[in-house]
Amino acid sequence: MIIFRTGSILRELTPESFSFDYARTVPIPAIIAMVAALVISLAVPVLLFLYLRKRFRLDPQAMLYGIFAYLLGRSLLPTLMDLGLQYIDARTGLFSSMPAVYYAIGSAVTVLLEFAAVLFGLKLAARRTRISFGLCVYFGLFFSIMPILTQTVSYMGNYLSVSLSINQGNLRGIVEEMIAGGSTSEDIEGLLSGLTSLMDQSVFYYLLLALDVLLMIPVHICLSVLTGGRLSGDIPKNRILEIVIILAVYAAALLGRSLIESETIAIFVGFFLITALVSCFLTWRVLKEFMPQDLEKLLGPPDPSISDKGGKNNPGNGGHKMPKIVMPKD
């Protein structure tokens, strides 16, 4: 009888049962911002890759182990960490009574797991190839590309798809389909609440959402370069302070984002911006002291031995010259 009564209630629901204006649309500037954020999210890694491609030879090991380190340090191990913390909380209730302790432990362990994955990935690469500066830069880039592709691009694509569907007047039909499919009023109200947030969101929100993930690229590249320099012996073993500072600032940024109750994404992006600036400054200082040639190669003009224009098979560069074609005379 409960089933039949629930079905009766659902059949009585109509789109007008919810206090929502189905004529509302997502502002055009917001849609333009979504497209811009989607383009930026894809363009920045691609342009950075092309920039590096003219200065360092691409080692496939960097790509493979960078992606592997991401899956290990930012997917598998954090999931196991969350399960462990939830188990401890279920047994002791520690984190439920003191959420700040949970956030502090979670932030610290998350950063350490990422660093451990970077270290492990570079050590695996060292067994098959020489750890060079270029390999470390590529490693950090590919370590950071995966969340851009799996999170930012995916989310932005969903936002854009839903917004276009709303502006085409399909929202009422979606609600009718949900009612016919047996969705509860709570489910429909949750959907409409999320769509209202989407319509009211600031234009800059989507651009900052993309920037939030892109700022992690320099952080992971810097950690990879410093760690790889230690493994290769280019950076002395006693120079670990810079790595510790970067990890500490990174953990503090994650903790601050968890503790601060604010709907302004600019504040959250600011934490990662500080982390990126600190990472770049400390890494630049170490490279300037111990690896100046690699730093100059990174920031200087392209390497002619790598670029197409400087290939040894090009005419005028000491390579093979094109044969001279002699036309037969009549």
138: three-class secondary structure by DSSP: helix
Fill in the amino acid letter for 1. Answer: M
- Alpha-carbon torsion, ordered 136, 140, 146, 152, to 10 deg: -150
**Below-50 pLDDT ranges, the chain:** 1-11, 309-320, 322, 324, 330
Q: What does the pLDDT look like over 299-329, one tens digit per residue?
A: 888 878 776 544 444 444 444 454 545 555 5
Both tokens of 296, joined, read 């100059």
- Using the 8-state DSSP alphabet, how is residue 15 labeled? G
| Residue bearing tokens 């968890």 | 258
Whether the full predicted model's pTM is greater than 0.85, yes or no, is no
CA nearest neighbour of 116 among 27, 227, 11, 240: 227
Q: What does the pLDDT look like over 207-231, one tens digit per residue?
A: 888 898 899 999 999 999 999 999 9
CA nearest neighbour of 225 among 143, 135, 290: 135
CB 143 within 8 A of CB 69: yes
How far is the CA of 18 from the CAs of 167, 182, 186, 193, 324, in angstroms? 19, 16, 10, 11, 80
CA nearest neighbour of 38 among 115, 122, 134, 148: 148
